[in-house]
Amino acid sequence: MYFRHKGFTLVELLITVVVVSIGVALAVPSWDNLVQKRQVTSAAEELASFLAYAQSEAVKSNEEVTVTFKRNGAGTAWCIGAIDEETKDANGLDHCECDAAINHASQCKIAGQIARVYNGGFEKFTMDSSQQEGTDSTDMHFNFDPIRGIKTADDGITVDSNEHLVTVVSANGHFKLQVDVEVTGRVRVCNPVSTKQIPGFQSCSSGPIIVNPPPVISP
C-alpha cells in the first residue's frame, strides 16, 4: 500500500518564516526596553545606596564625609566618590576626585577603603544632568554632618540648603530617574518626568522635605 508523506509546501514555509520574523521584530524592542529600564533602575538605586553609605559612615565614625559628583558634558562618563575628614586632613584636601588614579593622594577613601561608584558596567544609560541649586554642574560637592547626617557647608556648622540631584536616562530616552539629596540628608529616588516613569518610584513633584536651619546657640 502506498502512503503519501505530508510536509510543508513552499508557501506554508514562507508564511511560517514571515510570522516568526514578525514575532522576533516585536520581541526585540520589548526586551531592549526591559534591559534599559533595569539598567536605569539599578544605577539610580546604586547611587542612592552609595550616598546612604557615605552618610552612615559620617555618623558612625563621627567624622564629616564629603561627597563628590563628576561627569562629562554628555553624561557618558561619570563618577561619585566620598572621603572622610581624617583622609582629607592627612592629604590637605577639601574634597576628593572620584576619577583620580589608584593610590593618588586625591583618591576617594573612607576608613582607608576606596569609596566610589563610576559608569563602568552601565552602558544602557547616561547621567544627563547633575544639579546644585537648580544649576547644571559637572563637578559638585557637599558634606554629611557627623552628628545628624544632614548636609552642611564647608564650615561644618552651617546647614547646606542647596539642592543636589542627579538624573539618569536610558539610551533610548524612554526611562528616567532622579536621585535627590535633601537638606535633611535624606536620599530618595523618584520619577522626574511623568511620561518616562518607572513603576515603584514616586513623582519628584511631591517635593522634598524642607527643614529650617537649627538656631545658633550663643556661648
At 179, give phi and psi (nearest 5°).
-115, 115
What beta strand segments (E) does the chain contain?
A: 65-71, 78-84, 109-110, 113-114, 116-118, 125-132, 135-136, 139-144, 151-152, 164-170, 176-181, 187-190
**Cα distances (angstroms) measured from residue 185 to each of 73, 136, 161:** 27, 20, 10
CATH 3.40.50.300 is right for the domain spanning 36-206: no
**H helices of 124-194, where?**
none
**Nearest residue to 54 via CA among 161, 139, 211, 46:** 46
Please name every residue paired with 109 in a beta bridge, in sequence order, or none if there are none. Answer: 114
Express each pLDDT in 171-218 by its tens digit. Answer: 888 889 999 998 888 899 999 887 777 888 888 886 544 444 444 444
pLDDT tens for residues 143-178?
A: 999 988 888 887 777 888 888 888 888 888 888 999
Domain ranges of the chain: 36-206
Mean pLDDT of the chain: 79
Location of C-alpha cell 592629604: 91
Instruction: Report d(CA 55, CA 40) in Å as an integer.
Output: 23
Q: How many Cα atoms within 13 Å fall on the side-chain side of residue 72?
A: 7
In a 3-state reduction of DSSP, which class is residue 137? coil
Whether residue 55 is predicted with pLDDT greater than 60 in this model: the reply is: yes
4-8, 68-72, 189-193: least confident range: 4-8
Distance of CA 19 to the CA centre of its chain: 41
